[in-house]
DNA sequence: GGTATATCGATACTCCATTATCGATATACC
DNA sequence: GGTATATCGATAATGGAGTATCGATATACC
């Protein structure tokens, strides 16, 4: 436990958690690394290494107690302390994220959305407020917002990003299909659907032309 | 050119392409690996190795001719031959994907969406049709659809997946936050927002507690 | 209580992606 | 046309993630 953790491991942790939550509460008290691995498509050694980073509840002969393991992963990922965030760009994708209930379970709370076109402003069906872009800076500074989510078109993304950074945001989650420039100390995570699609359609093409590598493009 | 290509390289190729498209048509005819790397945050050697997989248009002293390079990447990624797809789950995320204009540029054409609740059926604002789920199998078989996009809640995802596979779909793009089981020969790509968020919020937490590693969580 | 066994955790190994080094070469300039 | 130079491309070195092996140990069963 408490070793250096790699990005890959970090990305797998939520998957373990998702699976643990699907287990019936009345079922087995413990689960083995092998069983977890088979359910998710990972090797059992990899599962042990991943879990060793966040929990030491593993017991020989029985495996990991489901309740303790769940708690340990959640603690590590910080799902208990909530992160406030703002979202910029109330288009379709922005609204989809706004109304996604699951974020709260991941410790993320979108406090408000912003958009430059006035007709989008007001209340969203999700119950979240959509405010004019001009109010962004003020709100971020007042509420000490640290995370900004960008769902505007690519052409506006850098400008929005600059405003967010100027408002004290420390991390940017970018869904616009473009590369953003941020200062050293600001964390940037790009969500690029084209990159994912490239992997998928390429392996589809490959498998059709009988080349090689038919399956399992995903993780690992 | 034409060496084995890694998944990582494959994921970066669309990023090069995106950047190339932002260059003014009247500007420099050529661009160097160093310039590309600086714009996107990669090392110049990595850029050369990536591009070597898909193009041999690089010239000493000048770099890569923008037009040729663009064409080579697009050819490699298959953006010229269109892939038909169906989407299942006309919720907010599903509709967002439906109306995303950018897909066509990536060689993806969503021919129709499906949903089990009748009130969602009919025409979407995007112009795409939303059909009852019962018609899924028939349409897939008739049109020989090879790619299925899943945007239903996690609880229904496996059932939808099974129907898609049973309808002859060869690749699944899964946006539901759950792990799916598919036959060996079916390609599965999971889009997991929780995994991305985990990386982001963890590094945010880290940078605050002054541990280490302040920036650049993203690719590489 | 003793013993067999399933499973964990640590160490060692392998493999692949990234990074560094170096020679080759086409262009630009004189 | 000759020469200097920026840049590419190939080969080698490094680093890190994933995988295998093996001993340790807690549990279950007799």
pLDDT in tens, B196-216: 999 999 999 888 875 444 344
pLDDT per residue over A30-60, tens digit each?
A: 999 999 999 999 999 999 999 999 999 999 9
Residue B80 is given by DSSP the state: S
Q: What CATH number is associated with residue B92?
A: 3.40.50.720
Neighbours of A76 (CB within 10 A): 19
Q: What CATH number is associated with residue B18?
A: 1.10.10.10
* A73 shares its domain with A89: no
Q: Which residues contact B7 (CB under 8 A, 6 or more apart)?
A: A199, A217
* A28 shares its domain with A112: no
* B108 shares its domain with B157: yes
At B214 the pLDDT is 39
SS (H, E, C) A97-114: HHCCCHHHHCCEEEEEEE
Nucleotide lying nearest to A220, CA to C1' measure: D18
d(CA A79, CA A58): 21
Q: Which of A38, A53, A77 is the last residue of a domain?
A: A77
Which pLDDT band holds residue A213 (cuts at 50, 70, 90)?
Answer: very low
Q: Is residue A72 part of a domain?
A: yes
Q: Is residue B72 part of a domain?
A: yes
Given a cut of 70, whether residue B51 has pLDDT beyond it is yes
Q: Which of A48, A77, A106 is the last residue of a domain?
A: A77
Which pLDDT band holds residue B17 (cuts at 50, 70, 90)?
Answer: very high
* B181 shares its domain with B100: yes
Q: Is residue A137 part of a domain?
A: yes
- Name residues 59-88 of chain B with a Cβ under 7 Å from nucleic strand C: 59-62
* A88 shares its domain with A189: yes
* Strand C reaches within 7 A of the A37 CB: no
Q: Are A57 and A76 in contact (CB under 8 A)?
A: no
* B51 shares its domain with B137: no
Q: What is the domain extent for residue B26?
A: 7-77
d(CA B104, CA B123): 19
Given a cut of 50, whether residue B124 has pLDDT beyond it is yes
d(CA B74, CA B194): 30
pLDDT per residue over B77-102, tens digit each?
A: 999 889 999 999 999 999 999 999 88
Query: Residue A77: its chain B contacts at CB < 8 A?
Result: 198, 201-202
Beta A129-132 vs A122-123: how paired, if at all?
antiparallel
Q: Is residue B31 part of a domain?
A: yes
Of the candidates A40, A188, A204, the beta carbon closest to that of B147 is on A204
Given a cut of 60, whether residue B37 has pLDDT beyond it is yes
Cβ–Cβ below 8 Å for A189 and B199: yes
* A13 shares its domain with A35: yes
Q: Is residue B88 part of a domain?
A: yes
Q: How far is A200 from chain B (nearest CA, A)?
A: 7
Q: Is residue A219 part of a domain?
A: no
Which pLDDT band holds residue A206 (cuts at 50, 70, 90)?
Answer: confident
Q: Is residue B30 part of a domain?
A: yes
Q: Which of B77, B105, B137 is the last residue of a domain?
A: B77
* B87 shares its domain with B143: yes
Give the whole-number percent of chain B exceeding pLDDT 90.
Answer: 83
* B114 shares its domain with B152: yes
* B88 shares its domain with B120: yes
Q: Is residue A214 part of a domain?
A: no
What is the number of structural domains in chain A?
Answer: 2
* B150 shares its domain with B173: yes
* B62 shares its domain with B124: no
């Amino acid at each position: 436990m408490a070793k250096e953790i790699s990005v890959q491991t970090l990305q797998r942790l939520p998957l373990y958690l998702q699976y643990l939550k699907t287990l019936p509460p009345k079922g087995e008290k413990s689960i083995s690394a092998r069983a977890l691995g088979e359910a998710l498509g990972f090797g059992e050694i990899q599962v042990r290494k991943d879990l060793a980073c966040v929990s030491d509840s593993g017991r020989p002969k029985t495996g990991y107690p489901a309740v303790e393991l769940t708690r340990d992963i959640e603690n590590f990922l910080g799902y208990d302390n909530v992160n406030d965030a703002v979202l910029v760009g109330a288009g379709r994708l922005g609204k989809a994220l706004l109304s996604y209930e699951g974020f709260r379970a991941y410790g993320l709370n979108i406090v408000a959305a912003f958009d430059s076109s006035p007709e989008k402003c007001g209340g969203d069906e999700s119950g979240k407020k959509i405010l004019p872009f001009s109010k962004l800076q003020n709100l971020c500074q007042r509420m000490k917002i640290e995370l900004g989510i960008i769902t505007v078109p690519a052409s506006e993304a850098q400008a929005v990003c600059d405003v967010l950074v100027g408002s004290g945001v420390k991390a940017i989650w970018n869904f616009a299909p473009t590369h953003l420039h941020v200062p050293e100390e600001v964390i940037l995570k790009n969500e690029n659907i084209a990159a994912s699609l490239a992997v998928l359609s390429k392996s589809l093409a490959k498998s059709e032309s009988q080349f090689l590598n038919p399956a399992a493009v995903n993780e690992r």
